[in-house]
Amino acid sequence: MRVWRALRPMSGQHDLHGGISRLYVLNGSHFCELARWALALRAVPLQVVVLSPGPHILQLRRQWPQLRSSRLPVWHTGDAVLQGSDQILTHLGFPVQQAAAEALLNGHIGPLARQAFYAGLSNNAVAAKAWMQHAYAPGPNWLAAAVHCAPRWAAAALLRREGGRPADLSRLMHRLVKACASLSPLAEAEQAALATSASPMLSRVALMAGALLGPVLAPAPAPWQLAPWSSDALAPLADLQRLPLLQLARAAWQTRSAAPLAPRARVRG
């Protein structure tokens, strides 16, 4: 599990927009969606700032040179800068209760979901173009133009970065089914707790399941609605949808409409 440091903002960075904290994100990142969702559930006044993949590294280094990583999300509360969804959830009062399950979600299930999504995009030019325009819209003109001209190449590059290949979609889906099935007992217990609670509150694991499986669950509204599944992925996708962990993820998404998300403000690189 990743551990991130809370950092004090540098001098002169306390002047937030209207006194509202800011969450810096990338479009389509399920870790960023996880943080945004948790902040909404806690009713934190928030401005969401969308950065462009790639140029965001320079923007973060320029604004907070003491950060040791360029990973997003970053939440500037006014009193501190918190980096990474793990640390943000802990700060918001979603404690670690199932460390082994979280490690599996963060380190195995989340990456498999991303690989499956990018593998699908790399085989579907129309969906790849729509997705890349969404993900890279805040970026500089040269980057947006490059992604527009070669969206399937961009999706394949993202897939390779995650350690997968375009031809691996069916195998990736079967691996994802197996990994999610291993958490069935925990997911069933989480669902039972939600069903019997007088005032149900999502646990950290439920939030993580909803966000990290978003690319394959593709609930609406969500940034992954364009998930393109070829025929060889449909059978394992159906198996996946029947698993308790996916049912828990869907239950988590049903709570999202009760916690309106802060709108995004785009920042060009």
Specify whether the CB–CB gap between 82 and 4 falls below 8 A.
Answer: yes
56-60, 107-111, 152-156: the lowest-pLDDT one: 152-156
Contact 149, 143 (CB under 8 A): no
Cβ(216)–Cβ(172) below 8 Å: no
Tell me the per-residue pLDDT of 221-262, one tens digit each, with 9 for 90 and over.
565 665 567 777 788 888 988 999 988 888 888 777 666 667
pLDDT band at 180; cut points 50, 70, 90: very high
- The H or E element that residue 38 is part of is helix 30-41
Q: Look up residue 1 and give its DSSP letter.
A: -
pLDDT band at 24 (very low <50, low <70, confident <90, very high): very high
Residue 178 has pLDDT above 80, yes or no: yes
Longest dimension (CA), the chain: 55
**165 phi, psi to nearest 5 deg:** -135, 150
- 162 confidence band (pLDDT: 50, 70, 90): low
What per-residue confidence (pLDDT) applies to 12? 33
Tell me the β-bridge partners of 46: 21
Q: Give pLDDT tens digits for 72-96.
A: 899 998 788 899 999 999 999 888 8
Q: What is the reported pLDDT for 2?
A: 31
The more confident residue out of 73 and 20 is: 73
**pLDDT of 142:** 57
Spatial separation of the C-alpha atoms in residues 1 and 5, rounded to whole Å: 13
8 Å CB contact between 155 and 125: no
Proportion of the chain above pLDDT 70, given as a percent:
71
pLDDT at 6: 33
The beta strands (E) that lie in the chain are given as 21-26, 46-51, 74-76, 81-83, 264-266
Quick one: pLDDT at residue 227?
57
Q: How confident is the model at residue 148 (pLDDT cuts 50, 70, 90)?
A: low
Cβ atoms of 52 and 269 within 8 Å: the answer is yes
Q: What gap in Å lies between CA 183 and CA 63, rounded to an integer?
A: 40
Most confident of 10-14, 116-120, 137-141, 162-166: 116-120
Average pLDDT, the chain: 77
Q: Which helix (H) or strand (E) holds 160?
A: helix 151-161
pTM: 0.80
Structure token digits, residue 43: 């009713």
pLDDT, tens digit, 9 for 90 and up, residues 188-215: 888 887 777 655 577 889 899 988 888 8
Look up residue 265 and give its DSSP letter: E
* Residues 93-126: tens digit of each pLDDT: 888 888 999 999 999 999 898 888 888 777 777 7
List the one residue out of 244, 240, 242 whose CA is nearest residue 190.
244
In which order are the strands placed within the sheet that holds 46-51? 81-83, 74-76, 21-26, 46-51, 264-266
Is pLDDT above 60 for 179?
A: yes
**How far from 216 is each of 21, 76, 135, 183, CA to CA, in Å?**
31, 30, 17, 17
pLDDT of residue 8: 33
Confidence of residue 133 (pLDDT cuts 50, 70, 90): confident
